[in-house]
A and B are shown apart, each in its own frame.
Chain A
Amino acid sequence: MLLIDCPYCGPREEIEFSYGGEAHIERPKQPDKLSDAEWADYLFMRNNPKGPLAERWCHSYGCRRWFNVERHTVTHEIQRVYKMGEPRGGEEGT
């Protein structure tokens, strides 16, 4: 069981959280302008890296806030937690 550092409540057991999949997937502003393939890309296509992944977690049993976690998918090492709306870290960071 992972120990996840909720940016609002502090470190808590994984079982208090629910998983929200890959982070930084923005909903298209005008879905009607997209082809089926483009829409499917938003809807279904996710990265599945062996390594660091930015993902969303919700502290369901705590403050009920959603936030982002950068977790290494092999070692489960959590490199960073950051609030919704904050830019992702690493090379792609802004």
Chain B
Amino acid sequence: MKRQRYRLDVGARIDRGKTLRFSFNGKSYEGFDGDTLASALLANGVRLVGRSFKYHRPRGIFSAGMEEPNALVQLGSGAASEANLRATQVELFDGLEAASVNCWPSVDFDIWAINDRFSSMLPAGFYYKTFMWPKKFWHQYEKVIRRGAGLGTAPELPDQNIYDKRNQHCEVLVVGGGPAGISAALEAGRAGARVILVDEQAELGGALLGNGEHIESRSGVDWALAARTELDEMPEVHILTRTTAFGYYHHNYILMVERLSDHLGAPAGTLRQRLWKIRAHQVVLATGAIERPMVFADNDRPGIMLANAARTYVNRYGVRPGNRAVLYTNNDSAYHAAHDLAEAGVRVEAVIDVRPNPTGEGVEAIRQRGIKVLAYHALVGTVGVKRLRGIEVLALNEKGDGFSDGLQRLRCDLLCLSGGWNPTVHLFSQPGGKLNFDELKACFVPGETNEAVIVAGAANGVFSLQGCLAGGAAAGREAAAKTGLEDPGAPSLLPVIPAEEGPITPVWHLPPVSKGEMRFVDLHNDVTASDLELATREGYRSIELVKRYTTAGMGPDQGRTGNMHALAIVADTLGRSIPEVGTTTYRAPYTPVPYGAMAGRDVGALADPIRMTAIHGWHERSGAVFDDVSQWKRPWYYPRPGEDMNAAVKRECIAARTGVAILDASTLGKIEIHGPDSAKYLNRIYTNGWSKLAIGRCRYGLMLGEDGMVMDDGVTSRLGETHYFMTTTTGGAARVMAWMEDWLQCEWSDLKVYLTSVTEQWATLSISGPNARRVLSDLAEGVDLAPESFPHMAVREGKVAGINARIFRVSFTGELGFEVSVANSYGLALWQAFQRVGEKYDLTPIGIEALHVLRAEKGYIAVGHDTDGSVTPGDLGMDWLVSSKKDFLGRRSLARSDSIRPDRKQFVGLKLEARVPEGAQIVSELRRRPPMKMIGHVTSAYDSAALGKSIALALIERGHERMGETVAIPLTLEGRVVKAEIVSPVFYDPSGERLNV
């Protein structure tokens, strides 16, 4: 194991007393607490860290933050493995294992680097142009291409970590914990605001952690530590570090992900990340800025990095990123980096500046150190492949659009680039914030927005430290004031003294010096200036389309470093201005977010809410198989030992037809209707008439949408003069209640009617079969069950098993039936009482599958099963339920030309040779293979025990006219055809005499 030979002896935010061991691509190294994987690799002299996406070119660490395009790593192995993490963001921990993602067999020898040799054959759009036809071969090509592309490996085992979510409200959310954000939080906190201050780093400070600058007499780091102490003492200020605000949605709704144990290696079973859902009155965005690179030939070699990154490695991590440095810039900030590198003992060979006459304090300081400044020069190439060995420089010509003669070569192993700064406007832009192009600063800055947001500091295009401090403080005060809190008083900072900075001269791209040279714009996706020039020559005008065609700005880094150059090159090639071309759309998430964090605890048993009836425990103990009906768990069937589903359902059906069966019907929707206008209201809601329903009687009702299509059905009973009780389907309960309230509140507010949902109040048991009355009579008190005093479709109140109950004589099976409803807390006791007295009648619990067979034998529709929102009462043969004497919802639609056309699909029964699946298509003219004209489909299909054959219900064109016709059901995938005869949907007891006993 080699020592950290690029580590500085003193300074920086690392703890040299805490050595951490880690491995990278199978080799062991050491780093210190406070390192990132990237800084530790640099400290150990590791320069080659990955291969590029398309050409598999060798790449090194390019940045010191989330904008990293090159150093993508796969962390860990097995279930905990995670792909495509940026080494610049991975905090080092003891035992960390990492590997490069895009290389095979190794980063040092990558077989796909052959692509680099043939790069001239792989221009933008190559895959689109070459492999898309013939179309049917694409899946063959794809297998091979995917092996060469793809980033990292998704783990195949379930994630063992825990993820959580929190909702939080605040007056002021400050995003970004640099000088501007800290200042804003301090001011808003002093005003008494509930403040959340969030930063993606492990500690507050932002740029101060890396740039070594001072605030008044203190170091920036000490200033940040003091601010943290003050903020921690404010009870309503909440600081979240290692937390990324990644989504800014409308009305100041911000999503953030907090990394709680990633820096510890996230041991299995620990709380790994927490998703924060923030609603803020005011947002202060102090998200800083990202440095841009420079574009020239072979600008991607390991050893080339952003100037500010080099500065950060020196100041924050105590690492020399090279021994001999050259800087290449178009603005002043690289000179500060040159200064810090020189201070750290790096030999700075030269600063190459494209500006004709760079001036400013930073520039002068470098000149005074005796470092060569090559003004009005540009880089035209680099030396070295797996490691930078030198650079090639030419002076610019008079016009500044080409070069003079006289190539100079400089030896170096570190090249630092600074092409200016892009304010981090992503979050600002996500909810629709407009961007303005600032010509002077050569960058987009925040413009108009509809959100309650203030942008401060570098994110607002203010790049000086003094400006950030003052701007942040003003934003914090303003935000607090906007929430109605008082200004804490005089600003606590000194007036702003602007530093002497020379202006930037953006030189987006210069012409190639030789043919075929690779001037990278998007390092991550291997998009070159030539690719962008080609795309515009091929006719692409919109930046959104150029992005998708060339892939510039895609992938994990989303083109953070290259996007501005890409659009400037497109603008230049098209002869348009940068604002005319505009930016691509910024969408959440700002950085990749693990699926685990999105799911939170909504996994396993908590994946979705589960609804259970009062009798659920009994069903479970009795071995019921459950069916999910919306969120309900409903017993599907109760298999006895040795029974399969068919056998169990058959036995349950026979019990209901010949003996007596009990079903848990508690899931049906139930609504109490009170008020003098209740009957009038029901007349408008249902298709049939309700004026004459007597107290103590029940009626079946059909509900339509305004489009005339069947929406729901159920039985409604009249319990008192102005009191009705409605039942709805299980799945329709909530929708029907909302629909009924809608009409009452919005259209018929003059009606005196109150609706109260009581679905959850009642447990309902349905007893049906020839012995239903006998079983019930053993338990009922104070109710005369004799048929003449308690006829079909009547309701009585009384006691069953000593429990207050409502007893409805209704039936969905076609047999004598009673539904007994009691308050939920008595539901299980009632069910058990039935089990006790039912033993002598062989009372059989049945599930919903048997119920469906029984109702289908009777031709009773199941809404949502036999109907699909396109079926009228006429289609169902239920015209007898449609009143002609009144208006009701949907009535007018029944007379629309489409509702009365003769070739509508109509509800019929099918006598079958064999069972068919529901949804099967029906044809009248059978052909050997599709296409065939389909005349309808099967809506319900069962094996009927009572009839001893398979039956089905179906919707068939002109079905009512086709009685007796034979049709075919071609089951092409199964290779068989089933013949069927169209019959009445009522297969069993058509006269209904079994109901009236």
Assess the A66–B896 pair: CB atoms within 8 A: no
Proximity string of chain B (885-897) to chain A, C-beta cutoff 8 Å, 1 when within and 0 when not: 0010001110011
Assess the A66–B892 pair: CB atoms within 8 A: no
Assess whether B741 is interfacial by the CB under 8 Å rule. Answer: yes
Assess whether A93 is interfacial by the CB under 8 Å rule. Answer: no
Find chain A residues with CB under 8 A from B897 CB: 36
Assess whether A48 is interfacial by the CB under 8 Å rule. Answer: no
Find chain A residues with CB under 8 A from B745 CB: 65-66, 84
Assess the B253–A3 pair: CB atoms within 8 A: yes
Assess the A85–B749 pair: CB atoms within 8 A: yes
Find chain A residues with CB under 8 A from B891 CB: 31
Assess the A58–B896 pair: CB atoms within 8 A: no
CA distance A60 to B738 in the complex (A): 8
Instruction: Known contacts A32-B887, A36-B897; decide if A1 and B249 are in contact (CB<8 Å).
Output: yes
Assess whether A76 is interfacial by the CB under 8 Å rule. Answer: yes
Find chain B residues with CB under 8 A from A18 CB: 738
Taking the closest CB of chain B, its distance from the CB of A28, in whole angstroms, is 8
Assess whether B216 is interfacial by the CB under 8 Å rule. Answer: no
Assess whether A46 is interfacial by the CB under 8 Å rule. Answer: no
Assess the A31–B746 pair: CB atoms within 8 A: no
Instruction: Known contacts A64-B741, A84-B745, A84-B746; decide if A76 and B251 are in contact (CB<8 Å).
Output: yes
Proximity string of chain A (34-54) to chain B, C-beta cutoff 8 Å, 1 when within and 0 when not: 101001100100000000000
Instruction: Known contacts A60-B738, A66-B741, A84-B746; decide if A34 and B250 are in contact (CB<8 Å).
Output: no
CA distance A36 to B893 in the complex (A): 8
Chain B 854-904 interface residues, beta-carbon cutoff 8 Å to A = 887, 891-893, 896-897
Assess whether B450 is interfacial by the CB under 8 Å rule. Answer: yes
CA distance A31 to B647 in the complex (A): 52
In the complex, what residue of chain A is closest to B253 when comparing beta carbons?
A1
Find chain A residues with CB under 8 A from B747 CB: 26-27
Instruction: Name A43's contact: one of B251, B253, B707 (CB within 8 Å).
Output: B707
Find chain B residues with CB under 8 A from A39 CB: 892-893, 896
CA distance A39 to B707 in the complex (A): 10
Chain B 737-770 interface residues, beta-carbon cutoff 8 Å to A = 738, 741-742, 745-747, 749
In the complex, what residue of chain B is closest to A18 when comparing beta carbons?
B738
Assess whether B432 is interfacial by the CB under 8 Å rule. Answer: yes
Chain A 37-94 interface residues, beta-carbon cutoff 8 Å to B = 39-40, 43, 56, 58, 60, 64-66, 72, 74-78, 84-85
Instruction: Name B892's contact: one of A32, A56, A60 (CB within 8 Å).
Output: A32
Taking the closest CB of chain A, its distance from the CB of B882, in whole angstroms, is 14
Find chain B residues with CB under 8 A from A66 CB: 741-742, 745-746
How many residues of chain B get a CB closer than 8 Å to chain A's CBs?
23
Chain B 241-300 interface residues, beta-carbon cutoff 8 Å to A = 249-253, 279
Assess the B450–A43 pair: CB atoms within 8 A: no
Find chain A residues with CB under 8 A from B438 CB: none
Assess the A43–B893 pair: CB atoms within 8 A: yes
Assess whether B628 is interfacial by the CB under 8 Å rule. Answer: no
CA distance A68 to B528 in the complex (A): 53
Assess the A20–B742 pair: CB atoms within 8 A: yes
Assess whether B361 is interfacial by the CB under 8 Å rule. Answer: no
CA distance A66 to B279 in the complex (A): 24
In the complex, what residue of chain A is closest to B745 when comparing beta carbons?
A66
Find chain B residues with CB under 8 A from A77 CB: 450
CA distance A46 to B243 in the complex (A): 44
Taking the closest CB of chain A, its distance from the CB of B749, in whole angstroms, is 7
Assess whether B706 is interfacial by the CB under 8 Å rule. Answer: yes
CA distance A65 to B746 in the complex (A): 9
CA distance A48 to B535 in the complex (A): 36
CA distance A70 to B892 in the complex (A): 30
Instruction: Known contacts A34-B892, A58-B738; decide if A1 and B746 are in contact (CB<8 Å).
Output: no
Proximity string of chain A (1-37) to chain B, C-beta cutoff 8 Å, 1 when within and 0 when not: 1110000000001000010100000111001101010
Assess the B892–A31 pair: CB atoms within 8 A: yes
Find chain B residues with CB under 8 A from A74 CB: 432
CA distance A1 to B169 in the complex (A): 14
In the complex, what residue of chain B is closest to A20 when comparing beta carbons?
B742
Instruction: Name A75's contact: one of B279, B432, B892, B893 (CB within 8 Å).
Output: B432
Instruction: Name A1's contact: one of B251, B706, B741, B892 (CB within 8 Å).
Output: B251
Instruction: Known contacts A2-B250, A77-B450; decide if A56 and B893 are in contact (CB<8 Å).
Output: no
CA distance A85 to B750 in the complex (A): 11
Instruction: Name B742's contact: one of A58, A72, A78 (CB within 8 Å).
Output: A58
Proximity string of chain B (42-69) to chain A, C-beta cutoff 8 Å, 1 when within and 0 when not: 0000000000000000000000000000
CA distance A84 to B253 in the complex (A): 28
Find chain B residues with CB under 8 A from A65 CB: 745
In the complex, what residue of chain B is closest to A65 when comparing beta carbons?
B745
CA distance A74 to B449 in the complex (A): 12
Taking the closest CB of chain B, its distance from the CB of A40, in whole angstroms, is 7
Find chain B residues with CB under 8 A from A43 CB: 706-707, 893
In the complex, what residue of chain B is closest to A77 when comparing beta carbons?
B450
Assess the A31–B887 pair: CB atoms within 8 A: yes
Find chain B residues with CB under 8 A from A32 CB: 887, 892
Find chain A residues with CB under 8 A from B707 CB: 43
CA distance A2 to B249 in the complex (A): 8
Assess the A36–B279 pair: CB atoms within 8 A: no
Assess the B450–A75 pair: CB atoms within 8 A: yes
Find chain A residues with CB under 8 A from B279 CB: 3, 13
Find chain B residues with CB under 8 A from A78 CB: 251
Taking the closest CB of chain B, its distance from the CB of A9, in whole angstroms, is 15
In the complex, what residue of chain B is closest to A42 when comparing beta carbons?
B706
Most buried by B among A2, A3, A27, A32: A27
In the complex, what residue of chain B is closest to A64 when comparing beta carbons?
B741
Taking the closest CB of chain A, its distance from the CB of B642, in whole angstroms, is 47
Instruction: Name B749's contact: one of A3, A36, A56, A84 (CB within 8 Å).
Output: A84
In the complex, what residue of chain A is closest to B432 when comparing beta carbons?
A75
Most buried by A among B251, B738, B749, B897: B251
Find chain B residues with CB under 8 A from A58 CB: 738, 741-742
With A26-B747, A58-B742 given, name 11 new contacts (CB 8 A).
A1-B250, A3-B253, A27-B747, A31-B891, A32-B887, A39-B892, A60-B738, A64-B738, A78-B251, A84-B746, A85-B749
List 29 contacting pairs A-B, 8 Å CB cutoff, sorted by A. A1-B249, A1-B253, A2-B250, A2-B251, A2-B253, A3-B252, A3-B253, A26-B747, A28-B892, A31-B891, A31-B892, A32-B892, A34-B892, A36-B896, A36-B897, A39-B893, A39-B896, A43-B707, A43-B893, A58-B742, A64-B738, A75-B432, A76-B250, A76-B450, A78-B251, A84-B745, A84-B746, A84-B749, A85-B749
* Top-8 shortest CB links A-B: A31-B892, A3-B251, A75-B450, A76-B250, A66-B745, A1-B253, A77-B450, A39-B892
Residues of B within 8 A of A (CB): 249-253, 279, 432, 450, 706-707, 738, 741-742, 745-747, 749, 887, 891-893, 896-897
